[in-house]
């Protein structure tokens, strides 16, 4: 079955770049998503990328997709304390017509001053 894997923890200094990595197994994945969860809150969509793209940039966020290796990354430039959160990678495959996502375990990002 589908599987999405992420490292569980990342510590980064304020002002540095953060890179969060994700691997997935479903070769039929069409869209890959990054969600952010701040403490005590639900998930909020940050960005997504279609599988025929290899890069997407949105302000401080850069998403890189290596479809051959089934590897997705999220780079946050100039990381701020407000970026401290859990980041979830999710994928949606073509075999699913309902709109279900497969989520990773989430990466806890801690930004230190």
Partner 1 sequence: DVKVTQSSRYLVKRTGEKVFLECVQDMDHENMFWYRQDPGLGLRLIYFSYDVKMKEKGDIPEGYSVSREKKERFSLILESASTNQTSMYLCASSHYPPEASAYEQYFGPGTRLTVT
Q: Does 19 bind partner 1 (CB under 8 A)?
A: no
104 lies in the site for partner 1, by CB under 8 A: yes
C-alpha distances in Å from residue 28, one per residue of 52, 71, 95? 12, 14, 7
Give 83 or 91: the residue with its C-beta nearer to partner 1: 91
b/e code 61-72 from CB counts within 10 Å (16+ = b): bbbbbeeeebeb
If one asks whether residue 30 binds partner 1 (CB under 8 A), the answer comes out as yes
52 forms part of the interface with partner 1 (CB under 8 A): no
Neighbours of 75 (CB within 10 A): 16
Which positions touch partner 1 (CB under 8 A)? 4, 8, 30-31, 33, 35, 40-45, 48, 50, 88, 92, 97-101, 103-106
């Amino acid at each position: 079955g589908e599987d999405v894997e992420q490292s569980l923890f990342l510590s980064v200094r304020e002002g540095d770049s953060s890179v969060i990595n994700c691997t997935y197994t479903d070769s039929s994945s069409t869209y890959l998503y990054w969600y952010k969860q701040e403490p005590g809150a639900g998930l909020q969509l940050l960005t997504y990328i279609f599988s025929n793209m290899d890069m997407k940039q949105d302000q401080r966020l850069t998403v890189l997709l290596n479809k051959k290796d089934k590897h997705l990354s999220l780079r946050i430039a100039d990381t701020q304390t407000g970026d401290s959160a859990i980041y979830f990678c999710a994928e949606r495959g073509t075999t699913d017509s309902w709109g279900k996502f497969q989520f990773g375990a989430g990466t806890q990002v801690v930004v230190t001053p």
